[in-house]
């Protein structure tokens, strides 16, 4: 195929715009924050599971503490009843029985108060653990929200860059013969499509041309479309080609 050297050079503009389009499409589909956002989502699930376990343990302790407190109230009620009966009893044997029961109630209350104190200490610890866990989830949510907004901004920027690159490509392609653009597009299926020859090296595949290939290129007219012998892309010759 024959094409004016200026038109061949304009293929490099299209190749550059195509690279910009690919980068924008990739950034739109895979913003850099996406992986971390997914990590945070997984981490939040684990934190929520741990929070549910700690909250369950806290609720169990609250229930146990409430039961102990109820038992203390029962003991106190019985103590008040027995003390009242003791003041009114006249039979020594009945008095001895009430005093024995009051002593037993005192021991029972002491045991219950010890258990109550232990439960309160454990409850304080688990409440602190629940609060800490909720703080971790809040931090995770905040980071996730921030990164999600950043990702949305990246996608919006990529959309804008994509639209601009596509418009620019259409404008440049409109100035080049359609058959040359069609050839370039066919070649992009297996190569860069078009690349400059710089210092005897194809910039599409980074291959240094052999002496024979360079000799052939030197004998090829400027308006003849040349291809890289390695990758097949259109070799655009410039002043930097080293021919």
pLDDT in tens, 118-139: 999 999 999 999 999 999 999 9
How many angstroms separate the CA atoms of 134 and 209, rounded? 64
Q: According to the model, what pLDDT value does residue 87 have?
A: 84
pLDDT in tens, 38-61: 999 999 999 999 999 999 999 999
Q: Check pLDDT > 80 for residue 94.
A: no
> Which domains can be identified in the chain, with CATH numbers?
5-26+174-237 (no CATH), 29-156 (1.10.287.1490)
Spatial contact of 202 and 160, defined as CB atoms under 8 Å apart: no
pTM above 0.85, yes or no: no
How many angstroms separate the CA atoms of 61 and 216, rounded? 88
């Amino acid at each position: 195929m024959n094409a004016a050297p200026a038109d061949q050079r304009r293929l490099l503009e299209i190749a550059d715009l195509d690279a910009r389009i690919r980068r924008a499409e990739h950034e739109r589909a895979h913003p850099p924050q996406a992986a971390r956002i997914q990590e945070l989502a997984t981490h939040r699930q684990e934190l929520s599971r741990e929070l549910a376990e700690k909250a369950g343990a806290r609720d169990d302790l609250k229930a146990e503490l409430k039961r102990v407190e109820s038992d203390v109230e029962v003991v106190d009620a019985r103590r008040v009843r027995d003390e009242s009966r003791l003041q009114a009893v006249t039979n020594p044997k009945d008095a001895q029985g009430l005093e024995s029961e009051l002593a037993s109630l005192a021991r029972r209350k002491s045991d219950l108060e010890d258990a109550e104190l232990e439960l309160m200490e454990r409850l304080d610890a688990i409440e602190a653990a629940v609060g800490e866990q909720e703080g971790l989830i809040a931090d995770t949510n905040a980071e996730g929200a921030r990164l999600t907004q950043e990702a949305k901004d990246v996608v919006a920027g990529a959309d804008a860059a994509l639209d601009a690159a596509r418009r620019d490509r259409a404008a440049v392609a409109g100035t080049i013969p359609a058959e040359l653009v069609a050839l370039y597009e066919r070649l992009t299926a297996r190569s860069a499509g078009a690349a400059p020859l710089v210092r005897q090296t194809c910039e599409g595949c980074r291959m240094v041309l052999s002496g024979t290939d360079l000799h052939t290129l030197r004998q090829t007219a400027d308006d003849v479309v040349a291809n890289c012998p390695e990758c097949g892309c259109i070799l655009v010759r410039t002043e930097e080609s080293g021919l």
